[in-house]
Chains A and B, each alone.
Chain A
C-alpha cells in the first residue's frame, strides 16, 4: 500500500516534470521562423518508415548500425514490460499480465531478455568505442566536457538499467522455483525466461529468501526509477533524439539536396527593381526583415528541431571535406552551437518572462565566420546524417547574413560579386568575348 502510494507520487511527479521540460523545448523550437513542411504526407511517411523506423542511413556504417539496432529494438520492446511495471506499481500486483497471457508472457519476457543481452553487448561496445578505441569522430574537440560526459552517462545508465532487469527477473526466477515468488503460481515450477532461467542459478542460487526478495525489489525499483530519471534527463541531453528523430525525419527536406531556397524577401526586392509596376506584398510587422540568419530566431523551426534531434554521432563531420583537411568547420558543431544558443535563449526567457537582450548572437559568439567560410556546400554532411539533419542550410543562411547585411564577405568573393554584376562572369572577362572559344 505504502509502496503503491510512493510509486503513484513518483509517476505523477515524473510525468509532470517531463511535460514541463518538453513544453519548453517545443516553445524554443517555435521561436524559429515559419516553414511549411506538411506537403506530401505519403512520401513523408515513407521516408519516416525507411530512415527513422528502418534506420536505413545508419547502415552506411554496418558495425555501429547493428550495435545501435540492438539498443533501439531492446528499448522499444522493453516498453511492453514497462507497462506491466507501471500497472503493478499502481495496483500493488506482481506480474499482473502473466496469468492471462500464459505462454505468450514467457515468450515476450524471453524476447526482451535476449534483446537486453544484445543491448548489454551494445552498451559495452559503444563505451569502448568512445573511451578505449577512441573512434576519431567520437573524440573530436567539440565533444570535450559536457557532450562527452553526456554520452557516457547515457551508456552507463542503459547498462545499469539492463542489470536491473536481470536482477528483477533472475531473483524472481529463483523465488518462483522455490514457490516463494509473489507472482501467481501457475503450477509450472519455473517462469522459463530465456536468459534469467539460465544465469539466475549461478548469480543468485546461493541467496536465501530474504536476500532474494531484496534483490528482486532493487531490480524492480531500480528499473522504474531509472526510467523516470532517464525520461526527465532526455530534454537536457543529446539523447532526446530517441523521441525527436521521428518528427525530424518526417519533416525532412524532400527536395534534391542541390536545391537551395530562394529567399522570398529578396525576390520581392529584385522584382521591384526589374519591374517598377510590381508591388511587393506588405511586410509582416511582427517579423523584422533580415536577410539570412544572425541568430537562432532567424532560422526556421525545422532548423531548430534539427538541432534538438542531433545526437552528436559525428557522421557528418567525418565526411566533411573541410574537417577532413583540418579546417575549423565541423557540421556537428554547427548543430551543437545552434542548440546551445537556443537553450541559452530559452533559459533567458524562463528567467525574464520574455527574452532580455543579452548582447550575444549565434553568429560570432557561438559560430565563427572562419567555420562558415570553410564550407564547400558539398552536402556530404546532409547525406551522412542518419536522421536527415541539414547543417548546410544553417551555414548558408548565416553566409547570407554576413554578405547581405554586414557586407563582410572575404575580399576575393567581393571581387567575384563585382565581376558577375559587371561582366556576367566570376572572372574579369567581357561578356562580349563569351563566344570567342568557337574560333580559337
Chain B
C-alpha cells in the first residue's frame, strides 16, 4: 500500500497553512475505481512539482452538474450553494479539478451564486507546470507512440480548451494523431447531460462505440482522455472491439506519471 501525501483544507487551516491551490477531486475521482487512479496520478504530479495543494476530503460534495443537466435546477443550486459555503469558508482562490464537468460548473455556474474562483482543468495545470519547468518529462516511454486525444465536450466546446491536453501529449515526444471529428467538431463519448447515469434512448448504436470506432481507425497505442466519464465510455468501447490488449485508454495525467515513472 502506497501512502500519498495529501492534506485536507481542514488540516491546513489547523496548521495555519494556506495551500496555493485546491484540488477538487470530484465524485468519480473519489469513488470510481478507474478514476481514483487518475486522482492519484494528479496528486503524484502535484507533489512531484512541489505544488502546495489540499483537498476538501469528506467536506467535498457533488458539484451538481448531473442534476443540472438532467433538469433538476433546484438540486443543483442546493449543491452549489452548500459547496460555495464550504469553499468561501476556506477562502479558496484557485481550484484545479480532475473532471471537465466539475471544472465547467465551478468556473461558469458558481459565480452568479456567490462562488468566484480561478478554476483550471488538470490538463491546463499540467501544461502550466510543464511550461514553467516545474515538471519535466524525463522518461521516454511514450516516445514515438501514437496517441489520439478525445476532446471532453465540457473542456473543448464548452470552454474552448483544446490545446492544453495536446501540448502535454506533444511533450511526451509521442505522435499526436487527430480523429476527423476533433476539437470544435469532437464527438461526445455519450456520457454527458446525465446520460452516464441512465440507459441510452432507443437507437441503432451506442455513442461510445461510434466514437471508439473512430479512434481505433487511427490504430493508436493510446486513446488519451481528460474526463472520468469519457474514460469509462472509451474503455468500454475498446473492450467492445476486444482491443484492450493493444490499445490503452489513459488520462493525460497518467501519461505524465507513466512517462516519468512517478
Contact = CB atoms under 8 A, between A and B. Distances in A.
Given A376-B191, A435-B55, A258 B71 contact: no
A346 interface: no
B108 interface: yes
Nearest to B103: A258
Contacts of A400: 71-73
A437 B39 CA distance: 8
Contacts of B195: 376
Nearest to A424: B61
Nearest to A292: B71
A263 interface: yes
Contacts of A370: 201-202
Interface in B202-248: 202-207, 210-211
A2 interface: no
Given A328-B201, A379-B153, A427-B31, A321 B210 contact: yes
A266 B104 contact: no
A256 to B, nearest CB: 5
Nearest to B1: A439
Interface in B175-198: 184-188, 190-198
Interface in B6-53: 6, 8, 25, 27, 29-31, 36, 39-40
Contact of B77 (A270, A380, A417): A270
A410 B31 CA distance: 23
B165 to A, nearest CB: 16
B40 A260 contact: no
Query: Contact size class for A?
Result: 35 or more
A266 B77 contact: yes
Contacts of A382: 157
A209 interface: no
A291 interface: yes
Interface string A424-439: 1111010111111111
B71 A402 contact: yes
A43 interface: no
Contacts of B192: 376-378
B72 A404 contact: yes
Contacts of B135: none
A273 B108 CA distance: 23
Contact of B71 (A322, A374, A399, A439): A399
A403 interface: yes
A431 B154 CA distance: 25
A292 B72 CA distance: 10
Contacts of A420: 62, 64, 66-67, 75, 79
A325 B72 contact: no
Contacts of B29: 437
A255 B198 contact: no
B173 interface: no
B155 to A, nearest CB: 8
Given A258-B158, A431-B61, A435-B8, A270 B78 contact: yes
A151 B207 CA distance: 31
Nearest to A319: B185
A324 interface: yes
Contacts of A415: 197
B135 to A, nearest CB: 21
Query: Contact size class for B?
Result: 35 or more
A373 B204 CA distance: 16
B88 interface: no
Q: Is the interface of A mostly helix, strand, loop or mixed?
A: helix
A335 interface: no
Contact of A378 (B79, B188, B201): B188
A325 B198 contact: no
Q: Which of A266, A379, A396, A404 has the most CB of B within 10 A?
A: A379
Interface string A401-429: 11110000110110111001100111101
Contacts of B188: 321, 376, 378, 380
A375 interface: yes
A426 B62 contact: yes
Contact of A425 (B31, B57, B73, B77): B31
A259 B109 contact: yes
Contacts of A319: 185
Contacts of A258: 104, 108, 153-154, 157-159
A262 B74 contact: no
Contacts of B27: 424-427
B200 interface: yes
Contacts of A376: 153, 188, 190-193, 195, 207
A398 B40 CA distance: 39
A432 to B, nearest CB: 6
A437 B30 contact: yes
A267 interface: yes
Interface of A: 60, 255-260, 262-263, 266-267, 269-271, 273-274, 291-292, 319, 321-322, 324-329, 370, 373-380, 382-383, 396, 398-404, 409-410, 412-413, 415-417, 420-421, 424-427, 429, 431-440
Which 4 A-B residue pairings sit nearest by Cβ, starting from the closest?
A258-B158, A399-B71, A377-B193, A326-B204
26 contacts: A256-B158, A262-B73, A263-B77, A266-B73, A291-B74, A319-B185, A325-B190, A325-B203, A325-B204, A325-B205, A328-B202, A376-B153, A378-B193, A380-B153, A380-B187, A399-B69, A400-B73, A404-B71, A420-B62, A420-B64, A420-B67, A425-B62, A433-B30, A434-B58, A435-B30, A437-B30
Given A425-B30, A426-B62, 15 more contacts: A256-B160, A262-B112, A266-B77, A291-B74, A329-B201, A377-B153, A378-B157, A380-B157, A383-B157, A396-B71, A403-B70, A416-B197, A424-B62, A425-B62, A438-B6
